[in-house]
Amino acid sequence: MSVLQVLHYPDERLRTIAKPVEKVDAEIQSIIDDMFETMYAEEGIGLAATQVDIHRRIIVIDVSENRDQRLVLINPELMNEVGAIGIEEGCLSVPEQRAFVPRFEQVKIKALDYHGQPFELEADDLLAICIQHEMDHLVGKLFIDYLSPLKRQRIRQKVEKIDRLRAKDK
């Protein structure tokens, strides 16, 4: 397993629409393993393959305190949503920035698991929010797209400054 590089906004590759996974095989499972390692190394709770420049419909999530409840979503599809909720969200691709985003309180999805087996899942609260956030990545959408153009521009400037400072430190 290896830690992959997470793309940062405003990298245009984050806007790529992910393609469905045709077959879950050892290569896809290796990508998933690397994605979990990357997510844990970056201290995230979710990661879409698009964020690591792999444009396939793959999401990994672990919202547990002990970091021991891995959830894999391959080719996820939203089947139903209920209610409205919103919290301040952050994103590994938009480092050190947070903003309030409206989301559904509960979602029902269908997807394939790590072994390619179909399943359905009903989620609420943080897990529901995380699923929606990561599914946005699969269609080239970032949480900042829900914000005003002025707020997006401010965040872009902050992220570019953070990336410049990190590059200096290397």
Report how far residue 132's alpha carbon sits from residue 118's, in angstroms, rounded to the nearest whole number: 19
137 annotated ligand-binding residue: yes
pLDDT, one tens digit per residue, over 101-146 is 999 999 999 999 999 999 999 999 999 999 999 999 999 999 999 9
Mean pLDDT of 69-89: 95
Report how far residue 140's alpha carbon sits from residue 51's, in angstroms, rounded to the nearest whole number: 10
Torsion of Cα atoms, 50 then 147 then 157 then 166, to 10°: -40
Q: Residue 20, SS3?
A: coil
Is pLDDT above 80 for 87?
Answer: yes
**How confident is the model at residue 10, as a pLDDT?**
94
Contacts of residue 92, Cβ cutoff 8 Å, sequence gap at least 6 = 6, 39, 42, 44, 47, 51
Element (H, E) at 161: helix 149-169
**How confident is the model at residue 1, as a pLDDT?**
81
For the chain, what percentages of helix, strand and coil (3-state, to nearest 5) are there? 35, 30, 30
Where do the domains of the chain lie, and which CATH numbers do they carry?
12-169 (3.90.45.10)
Percent with pLDDT over 70 in the chain:
99
Candidates 65, 81, 105, 134; catalytic one: 134
91 annotated ligand-binding residue: yes
92: tokens are 């590994």
Angle 75-91-18 from CA coordinates, rounded to 5°: 25
- Is 134 part of the annotated catalytic residue set? yes
Confidence of residue 32 (pLDDT cuts 50, 70, 90): very high
8 annotated ligand-binding residue: no
Q: Is 113 exposed, middle or buried (0-12, 13-18, 19+ CB in 10 A)?
A: middle
Report how far residue 138's alpha carbon sits from residue 52's, in angstroms, rounded to the nearest whole number: 12
